[in-house]
Amino acid sequence: MIELDAPTLLVTSTLVQWLFATLLLMERRQEPGIDGWALSLVLHGVANMVLYARPMVPPFFGIMFYNACVMTAFSISHWAIGRIFSRCVPWWQLVLPVLVSVVLMAWHLDDIGQRVVFFSLIVGIQLLFVSGTITKSEKDGGLRLKRWLAMIVCGFGIAFLSRSLLSYFYPHLFTQFLGTSLLQAGFIMVGIAYFVVSTLAIFLFKLERLNEKLQREATRDSLTGLLNRRAFTQRAKAALAGDDYPISVLMIDIDDFKKINDSFGHSLGDKVLVHCACIFEQVIGDQGIVGRLGGEEFAVMLPHCGTAEAQLLCRQILSRISNSYTEHDMTLSTSIGVTVTKQALCIDRLLTQADDALYRAKHEGKNTFMVFEPMTRTLPIPQDDLPASH
């Protein structure tokens, strides 16, 4: 039967940390921050072995190397967390704990009680810094796991701060590193739990963010970030199945886009697409959904939007586009086809109607919009209502 004492737990902790480091490097080495987290696990394992061998090494080396190794490992793990969660960590939060630890350990080389107090205090503060980094990180996915990890790290930080306080008033409970104190063994087990839970949470966060990335790639246009054709169609069908009528559908086409590509190159053409997509999103906002159907063709669905409101948005789009791009002395313009329905129609039919109106807008001279009128014809918009062409 394995005895629940500090030496046994130190060896167990080392094996767990090195195992996790190996698995992370094998499975996720290319992910940002994973290499740093694995390195911190390796350093913690090395520190454990130094602590285990404390009776066999010179006191100065054992004490100074162990504490410097642990503080460096926590700083590296903090840096890794910053990379994993796309957050820049202030340099002083990484360097200062290591320097302060070295100075304090050297100052209290012969006072193990004070060393335990300061060691626990610095580690607790470091963990609170890590929790803050996670909390302030970009909102780019895995929010639920980020909150859990931040709370877990904060909890362990509070545990170490509590240990610092307890060891200040009851130093005899924490000064027998290699003894069989149940409390001492308990804190080593807390350390094991921290690395196991944190590593698993990071791994799950990576998987969740990967799933969100795959979901985004499946529903978003890779160039503009707008909904792709399939996702736009699905969202439009859902809107048509509700009671958000009247519903307007716009088909938007960038005028003379082929000439732009031929004259200025596809790189500039891509910039134009992204530029126009941004304007469409800014004008439409939360009023509807915007998608890129392919090439220079875009679509917009506007729930609770009648003909007058749709025309107003079209004028805003035409004005914003025609007055927005001056690179290479190039003036942009768009043509728009509009259809409005007050009853349930399939999205394909509405897109066909809007496309018919778009065709007429192109035929009428571009930089304009047309409204599709069922059972009659497409009606041109008076030129006096349009922004001046350049």
H or E stretch at 47: helix 34-52
The Cα-based distances of 259 to 296, 319, 355, 360 in angstroms read 12, 21, 21, 20
The beta strand positions in the chain, using DSSP E, are 247-254, 289-294, 297-302, 334-341, 369-371, 379-380
Interatomic CA distance for residues 188 and 184, integer angstroms: 7
Q: Is 301 helix (H, G, I), strand (E, B) or coil?
A: strand
Interatomic CA distance for residues 302 and 310, integer angstroms: 8
What are the structure tokens assigned to 229, written together? Answer: 């054709």
- By annotation, the residues acting in catalysis are 296
Q: Give the 3-state DSSP-derived string for 60-101, with helices as H, strands as E and coil as C.
A: HHHHHHHHHHHHHHHHHHHHHHHHHCCCCCCHHHHHHHHHHH
Question: What is the DSSP secondary-structure string of 326-382?
Answer: -GGG----EEEEEEEESS---HHHHHHHHHHHHHHHHHTTSS-EEE--TTS-PEEPP
At 365, give phi and psi (nearest 5°). 120, 5
Cis peptide before 246 (omega within 30 of 0): yes
Interatomic CA distance for residues 87 and 200, integer angstroms: 20
Neighbour count for residue 373 (Cβ, 10 Å): 14
Q: Among all chains, which residue has been given the structure tokens 């590296």?
A: 76
